[in-house]
A and B are shown apart, each in its own frame.
Chain A
Amino acid sequence: MTAPDAPSPKPDAGKRAFGWVRDVLSTRLNKSAGRIRQLMLLIGVAYLGIGGKLVHLGLSREPPQTLKVAADQAAAGARPDLLDRNGAILATDVKTLSVFAEPRNIIDKDEAVELITAVLPAVDARELRERMNSKKGFIWIKRQITAKEHDEIFHLGLPGIGFWPENKRIYPNGPLAAHVLGFVDKDNIGIAGMEKYLDTQGLTDPHVPGFAVDPEALKPVRLSLDIKATHALRDELIAGLERFKAKAAAGAIIDVDTGEIIALESLPDYDPNDPPDMTKQVNWPKINRVNVGTYEMGSTFKALTIAMALDSGKVSLGSHIDARDSLRSGHFTIHDFHATHRVLTVPEVFTHSSNIGTARMALMVGVQGHQAFLRKMGQLDRLQTELPESAKPQVPKHWGELNTMTIAFGQGLNVAPLQALMGVAALVNGGHLMKPTFLVRDEATAMANSEKVVSDQTSESMRYLLRSNATHGSAGFANVEGYYVGGKTGTAQKIVGRRYSNDKVFTTFMAITPADKPKFLYLVMYDQPEAAPGDGGYHTAAYNAGRVTGALLRRVEPLEGHAPLLAPPAHPFPLIARLGYGADADKVGKE
């Protein structure tokens, strides 16, 4: 055979057979450039693919949603409970079912619409059909259905129709404190009041993607309101509203040591369970008059003027103020409502509510000083509390001597009543100006955030003046036995057209109890009250707001656990007693 001349072709064949393997595994440099190019191409194609998908996703209008995400975003979010200061529920979430449809999964849309509208007559068939035929993947049919409706729809057995649990906001007390609580819309988003505050503070679970809050983690929020006191306030205000045929009424109770609002009501009000009720038209707007309304506070403002004069040191309790003649400025003349035509002491100016006297005292301090004092007392700037609603006081643009004279007795400057309340609270609590709050706050925190605006002595003088006004002045109707009440009336004439009207008035009343160491400051206001039968035609503050405050005080004080005093305090005003005044508030004013 040819064994020797045919020297083994086998290795060659083997070389050829495994040649490609060697090729692939070869690490020679001449091969790598091509391979890198191939790799780059591959990666490039992959990136192009990803980029293309991104552009596609970006351009498509509706991102594909899973049902859960869609329903979750559409459903009403969870909100924390609102409690009163004693833990009673003011607002809470209740689970309800809402019925939805996925039009893509419905086989016969017309039949579905027909059957559903048979069960839910409130749903408009034509409108529902239109929405069913839109391209949406998820539509609500009806929110917050009843258990019976749920049963009936469930038994229709329609494909593409489902139920989703939702939260519905419930206000068990109805219209009580409605102006503080506010209300929510269908999606449980706060629209007004403390409900809106909760949303702005991020205390709710609004279903915003990326801000998921565990509904279990929502802690109840405790407000400073006392539901029982609020009810008493509302009840008495309504009784007065009917008796005095007033257009509107409002009232508030504030704890002067902490600045907490214990009760706040404004009539007419609405039921937050039924938000459309808010906008239902009545003759008088349903606004929060304590917060949003601005009014000329009338004679209650005199407290601020007298405190300013006393604190400036230009006037003391024993000073004499000339109120013999009307005060003229330009072509304006200032009269006294209860004219005395004599020289008055400072307590007499207060108890007789002398316009001339207070105007003279303001002039002693001067325009600059008057403005500075009112600014310090927070009367010239917008007062912002937790409530989103607030009002800017209407300050005269050109503030001359005449303005100072009229503002001294509460005309010519419109402030929110809450503002005036804050100012008077500071005058009687020892001179600490603190912002009112609707959340619970302790005295230490309140004091730390307060500002000393008048001296202890001025504060005590004001308490003494308020007390003497209850015993000898216009606040007698509110002088409830056992509570050592101090108070001040205010009757401001309303501007009709461009003139102050004589028969249309805005009346306010402020009362403190007990006057030697006040805890609560009461405010009651009536808009356009009329004289009640038997009042001799008087429609001034003492007859309406003053009476209501008296009745209110009698109800609220025992509710709050304040025991009545069987005898007046022995040394109610120690600081000014040392100076020889006010040893007995019950005797002053007459002298």
Chain B
Amino acid sequence: MRKRDLAVVTGASSGIGFELARCAAQDGCDVVLVADEHEIRTAAAALEDGGSDVTAIEADLGTEHGVAILWQEIADRHVDYFAANAGRGLGGAFLDQDWEEIEAVIHTNVTGSTALLHRATKKMRDQGEGRILITGAIAGEVPGAFRAVYNATTAYLDTLSWGIREELKDDGVTVTCLMPGPTDTEFFDRAQMDDTPVGQDHGKADPAKVARAGWDAMKRGSSGVTPGFMNKLQRQLTGVIPDTVLARVHRNLAEPRGAGNG
């Protein structure tokens, strides 16, 4: 009997990450779920009924130590799918943010993601096959007034994903960038963005649908996917509207109510 495929999903305790892990389990994969909080065990337990071998790892992937913990678990296993999804948001004006908060966003979204992707690409290139999914964001195409560092980190991830996809194209390894728009997850609450127009918007996308679109795009080996019509429209428009205008639009969505004159 053929061994089941193995999928690794980071940031899998809730939201899009949890739904990606669910896609993996539904597709008959064994799954390693990682997050920096205890809830990762509950998330793993919720996927256990389908016959998959499910492993929960609690680790902060913004630290070298956390990356090492995950790698210890998967180093000797054949990894078919790697979903680098862990990320932190941070709203508010740049100069009102604490440096420690900014640093945590960079450590998780940029340094930690890159460390994992570096190991994953090497591993998969050696395997001669593998599929990588990177959760970037439509935000990477839009300079983010009042969420500046977060949007910049997603610009980093979107750009990195296009670059390494091209490098790996003859190695049997594909890289897909999932670029969701605002999704109905704990993201806005955790990013301290409850009091913003985008945080209060009720039309946000369903994380299960976003995850399924991303998972399927990865399995096809597509370069990127922007789930939902409005996001596709927005992505098209970002190609022709100047960055200064986009930044202004972002202010209208992300500026905390009662602040400034936005």
A binds B: no
Binding site for A on B (CB under 8 A): none
Binding site for B on A (CB under 8 A): none
